[in-house]
Amino acid sequence: MRRAAARDPHVPRRRGPDERPRPRRRRSRLGRQAVVYQVYPRSFADSDGDGLGDLPGITSRVPHLAALGVDAVWLSPFYPSALADGGYDVDDHRDVDPRIGTLAQFDDLVAALHAHGIRVVVDIVPNHSSDRHRWFREALAAGPGSPERARYVFRRGLGADGERPPSDWRAVFGGPAWEPVGDGDWYLHLFAPEQPDWNWDHPEVREDFLTTLRFWSDRGVDGFRIDVAHALTKDLSEPLPTQAELDAGTLVDGRHPYEDRDAVHEVYRAWRAVFEEYDPPRTAVAEAWVPAHRRARYASPEGLGQAFNFDLLMDDPDAGQFRRTVEENLALARESGTSSTWVLSNHDVVRHATRYALPAGTDLQAWLLRGGTDPAPDVERGLRLARAATALVLALPGSTYLYQGEELGLPEVADLDAADLQDPTWVRSQGTEKGRDGCRVPLPWSASGPALGFGDGSPHLPQPAWFADYAVERQEGEATSTLALYRRAIALRARLQSPETLEWADDVPAGVVQFRRPGGWTSVTNLGTSPVPLPAGRVVLSSGPQTEDQLALLTELPGETTAWLVTPST
Ligand code: GLC
């Protein structure tokens, strides 16, 4: 039953087939310069005490998201799943995992977010399903050469009885990328064995995803985050290259057998047609791990419209690196007519408050394996730099994606016990990579009580005692908290927002990144450790001294701090 469509006035309707397109009322605010907040549902809030976050939990925390002032919420997968890869192994793309809620509760969440003017983005996982998906189970049962197997990438093994894999390819999480099914056939899984890759040459696969996009759009979803958007279409013609040939990095610009092939854009053109069936049109953002010069294809207005740019996420907190990354990405966005995106943290990487607490060049996976003690993180410096980087990013033209918990300044939990780890990376890499669980530990809402307010049960990943220091409750009403900084910055950004351009200040001290947006909004970041003079203007925000009184007294910019200033013309 489509309760949302009946009840929620914010749910835009779909055009009938005979209806002529009406003039656009407005593009969704998601389009170009939004602040999008990523919720990892299993770790956000647990309403029923089973230790897993759920949809009613998120609904109960909508006031937190509204007070933060975000434009949209992106929900990582909440679909039925065995959680072999944290929900990115999807059994059924048009349902809700019973442990997480129901479709009716999804509608309630959409209505609650829409009531606050917050848009809803859901994750679409089109490269693979789970091995529990109905079509994959049918494929296994139907046997070699069957039409059922044609929906996935099955291939005869090498050797007389197909006993050897079709190639020596490695999966992203470690181990072989081909899995035998016992009858001489092997299937391809670029990720875990529980995530068989779809065959995107198959019309039924293409059609099924169009159905999924309409299913969620009809329920009021405003946009989609497209998982592994660069890998769907494949050219597996013989002879398959070896892993060494793939690793050589020469198969680029569309010549790799499964990464960033040009044909993938036909898929997204068809998706675009679906997005345009709606008013306002649905939006999308591609998770495409491709070189910067290939990103615009994914972000094109005929395609998904936006693509994540992970370049900042890989930079050190260094003025030269930050500026180069921003310049390069703004130039690319300009050339292609798209807007830029900025990401410092997400559910796949070590949180930025921790990355910046470590010496530049630290091998993060090796550091996690050592339990996060060697080298010892400088937690205060990490937080200072994280706040400075976030304030810089929020002043940039384009959309900013925030990850749950970063508004609390949460560090990574680096010392999870091996027995608690869930990320398939841990097992698949045979214990040589710990994986991503440290950024997925359930949020601390209160400073005491069961699971620090996450829920009454024991959380699916244990929270360390020090999480209490970062609790929302503790930061609420605390004028110098990281939460207060995020709220103030996001509110100011909405007020100061201007066309998507900036002008660099070149005559600045070493270690300083300074630019001015149209309308007299200047952002200056001092990544050095000594104070520098402030440029002209009234300081309206600083990632260091934060209260009105402190801002009024600020005569210079402390080290590892960002300030925003406005000039009278604003
Ligand atoms: C994306 C997701 C990641 C997942 C992978 C496979 O990179 O962000 O969490 O493991 O795709 O679906």
> What's the pLDDT at 11?
44
Q: In the chain, pLDDT over 70 holds for what percent of residues?
A: 94
Question: Which residues are identified as catalytic?
Answer: 227, 277
Q: What are phi and psi of 269, to 5 degrees?
A: -65, -40
Q: How far apart are CA 570 and CA 112, in angstroms?
A: 34
Q: How far apart are CA 416 and CA 57, in angstroms?
A: 24
Q: How far apart are CA 185 and CA 152, in angstroms?
A: 12
Q: Of 366, 346, 345, whose CA–CA distance to 356 is shortest?
A: 345
Using N-to-C axis directions, what is the helix angle for 319-336 and 292-299, rounded to 10°? 40
Q: Give the H or E element holding residue 517.
A: strand 512-517
The CA 446 to ligand 1 mean position distance, Å, reads 30
pLDDT over 70 at 307, yes or no: yes
Label residue 28 by pLDDT band (50, 70, 90).
very low
Q: Of 13, 183, 532, whose CA–CA distance to 2 is shortest?
A: 13
pLDDT over 80 at 31, yes or no: no
Q: How far apart are CA 108 and CA 4, in angstroms?
A: 7
The CA 428 to ligand 1 mean position distance, Å, reads 15
- Among 228, 349, 423, 426, which residue has the most ligand 1 atoms within 8 Å of its CB, making it the best to mutate? 228
> What's the pLDDT at 335?
85
Q: How far apart are CA 490 and CA 391, in angstroms?
A: 9
For residue 148, what are the contacts with CB-CB under 8 A and spacing of at least 6? Answer: 135, 138, 139, 141, 142
> What's the pLDDT at 525?
98
Number of other CB atoms surrounding residue 7 within 10 Å = 13
> What's the pLDDT at 569?
60
Alpha carbon nearest to ligand 1 atom 2, residue: 227
Atom number, ligand 1, closest to the C-alpha of residue 125: 12
| SS3 labels along 10-27 | CCCCECCCCCCCCCCCCC
Atom number, ligand 1, closest to the C-alpha of residue 347: 9
Atom number, ligand 1, closest to the C-alpha of residue 346: 8
Number of other CB atoms surrounding residue 163 within 10 Å = 11
For residue 16, what are the contacts with CB-CB under 8 A and spacing of at least 6? Answer: none
pLDDT in tens, 44-90: 999 999 999 999 999 999 999 999 999 999 999 999 999 999 999 99
> What's the pLDDT at 383?
98
> What's the pLDDT at 50?
98
How large is the average pLDDT for residues 473-499?
97
Match 């003039």 to its residue by tokens.
23
pLDDT over 90 at 3, yes or no: no
What type of residue is 405?
G
The CA 11 to ligand 1 mean position distance, Å, reads 29
How large is the average pLDDT for residues 154-178?
97
How large is the average pLDDT for residues 465-492?
97
Pocket residues for ligand 1 (CB within 6 Å)? 85, 88, 125, 191, 227-228, 287, 347-348
Q: Which residues pair with 100 in a beta bridge?
A: none
Q: Are 75 and 121 in contact (CB under 8 A)?
A: yes
Residue 562 three-state SS: strand
Atom number, ligand 1, closest to the C-alpha of residue 127: 12
> What's the pLDDT at 16?
54
> What's the pLDDT at 293?
87
Q: How far apart are CA 63 and CA 59, in angstroms?
A: 8
pLDDT in tens, 329-340: 999 999 888 899
How large is the average pLDDT for residues 154-176?
97
Q: What are phi and psi of 114, to 5 degrees?
A: -60, -35
Alpha carbon nearest to ligand 1 atom 4, residue: 88
Q: Are 39 and 101 in contact (CB under 8 A)?
A: no
Q: How far apart are CA 233 and CA 261, in angstroms?
A: 7
Report pTM. Answer: 0.94
- Among 83, 227, 230, which residue has the most ligand 1 atoms within 8 Å of its CB, making it the best to mutate? 227
The CA 252 to ligand 1 mean position distance, Å, reads 21
**HSE of 81 in the Cβ direction (CA atoms, 13 Å)?**
25
Label residue 239 by pLDDT band (50, 70, 90).
very high
Q: Which residues pair with 526 in a beta bridge?
A: 512, 561
Q: Which of 9-13, 113-117, 384-388, 390-394 has the lowest mean pLDDT?
A: 9-13
> What's the pLDDT at 15?
53
Alpha carbon nearest to ligand 1 atom 9, residue: 348
Q: Which of 2-6, 239-243, 333-337 has the lowest mean pLDDT?
A: 2-6
